[in-house]
Amino acid sequence: MEEYYWDTQLEYIGIMRDLYYNDDYLEFLVNNVWKLSKPIHIIDFGCGYGYLGLKLLPLFPTGSKYTGIDKGQQHINKKKELFHSLPYETEFFVADTNEIELESKYDIAVCHAFLLHMSEPQKKSFKKWLVQLSNRGKVICFEPHWISGLSSYYINGHEQSQIVSLGILQKLFEEDTKRNGKDGNIGVKVPQYLSELGVENIECRVSDKVNFLNPNVTQKDKEKLYNSLKEDGLGEVPSHREAFIEGLKNRGVKLKEAQEQYDAELLFSQVFNIDSSLIYAPNMKITFGEVKK
């Protein structure tokens, strides 16, 4: 059996996801926006090792239940280990989220940074998932909008345009989506997709998390954030120049643009280090609505 890629990325996923949300903002959503006052049963599509469940279950009303579905056996094994000693009723399935058949009994369906890895999810995934919800159940999608995240970097001493070339990156994302149907900017499009499927009372929020790598804090605090940023791909050294440029040309980029993009990524990798003063806001989009049956 072919190895499932994300099964090999447990450490990476665990380190980097703290970059995206403040716990008090999630609590605000649960209590003041979604107004969850009674126990609910939540189903998490593409749950990974259960990050979202670990974040949300302590905020949900007592007696809430959690179901996680993921294609990776190692993810589910890790999830069972993490949840074993916690006071929550849980169940886990190793399955393809587009193929599993379940009862329409769930109060909330969620996904986190999952749709961007799926080809054209609006044509299949959403329809499949909405069926699992009970009447007036909520669908909640935590998904990225890469280009807005990339516009929210600042490293002291350098103009943003020197290290992140937004124009070429936006073009690359759009062309890649046309080629393979996978969309790193899907977070900003989810409201439209849900509307087309008849979901009601749709709203979209943005995570308030802003990461500040401050050279004046303790070494331990710097290392924690710096390692998370590096795992998220920030300041990564680009591959061999000729191979990098050729790869971009194969994706429809002109030679000059490819050369400039290489130079920008190389500069970022050279100036970004643990003692940098850097601000980064991921701008994760959180879209939600209700399903009426």
pLDDT at 161 (0 to 100): 93
Average pLDDT over residues 2-24: 56
- Is the pLDDT reported for residue 17 higher than 70? no
pLDDT at 5 (0 to 100): 38
Contact, 209 vs 21, CB < 8 A?
yes
What letter does residue 130 receive in the DSSP assignment?
Answer: H
Beta bridge partners of 137: 291
CA distance 242 to 185: 28
Average pLDDT over residues 51-78: 88
Contacts from 165-169 at CB under 8 Å and sequence distance 24+?
165/260, 165/261, 165/264, 168/253, 168/257, 168/260, 168/261, 169/261
pLDDT at 55 (0 to 100): 87
- Is the pLDDT reported for residue 10 higher than 90? no
pLDDT at 103 (0 to 100): 81
Q: Write the CA distances from 187 to 54, 77, 99, 106, 287, integer angstroms.
A: 22, 28, 23, 23, 8
Place of tokens 């977070």: 187
End-to-end alpha carbon distance in the chain = 39
pLDDT at 1 (0 to 100): 32
Architecture, CATH, for domain 5-145+184-209+283-291: 3-Layer(aba) Sandwich (3.40)
Average pLDDT over residues 175-193: 94
CA distance 138 to 29: 13
Can you tell me whether residue 91 is helix, strand or coil?
strand
pLDDT at 74 (0 to 100): 80
Give the pLDDT band (50/70/90) at residue 9: very low
Q: Write the CA distances from 82 to 10, 50, 53, 76, integer angstroms.
A: 13, 8, 11, 10
Q: What is the domain partition of the chain in residue ranges? A: 5-145+184-209+283-291
Q: Structure pTM?
A: 0.89
